[in-house]
Amino acid sequence: MNEIALPVAQAAELRARLTHDGGALVAKLSGTADLRVTDSVEAILNRVHQKALELAISEVQMDLRELEFMNSSCFKSFVSWISEVSDLTAGQYRIRFLSNPSILWQRRSLHALSCFAAELVTIEASN
């Protein structure tokens, strides 16, 4: 498993990890994504996108199972990322969100993202 460096420092409120293992690119966010880390979330998603294209990945796994909360600014960064993937004419990849059913905001917010781009986004619930 290769660890990929992220362009942000790990903070107490939000921790992030990006790995590449075989054909899979896995990003994991833990903690709280709020007003303090909006720029970091955007930078992380830009790096994920850049790496997915560089490695010609067919699917990115976005693990949010330990993400306690996400505000609308960070949520919008996800919207922008998905929109960018959706606009690709070549190198388009799918996005699989790993969600935690006991963190209830995730069900509604991720459902909204899947409605936004049903052809690209899938949601997998597991603890």
Pairing state between β 14-21 and 24-33: antiparallel
Residue 50 in the binding site for another protein (CB under 8 A) = no
CA distance to 16, 33, 46, 108, per residue, from 7 (Å): 10, 16, 9, 29
Number of residues that make up the chain: 127
Q: Which of 6, 116, 123, 125 binds another protein (CB under 8 A)?
A: 116
Closer CB to another protein, 23 or 101, in the complex: 101
Residues linked to residue 124 through DSSP beta bridges, in sequence order: 98
Question: Binding to another protein by residue 76, rule CB under 8 A?
Answer: yes
Letter for the amino acid at 107? Answer: R
Nearer to another protein, 71 or 92 (CB): 71
Output the smallest distance, CB 91 to another protein, in A.
19
Out of 34, 46, 51, 55, the residue judged to bind another protein by CB under 8 A: 34
Among 76, 86, 73, 70, smallest CA distance to 29 is for 70
Using CB under 8 A, which of 19, 55, 69, 122 touches another protein? 69
- Determine contact, residues 70/33, Cβ cutoff 8 Å: yes
Residues in touch with another protein (CB under 8 A): 13, 32, 34-36, 69, 71-73, 75-76, 79-80, 83, 104-105, 108-109, 112, 115-116
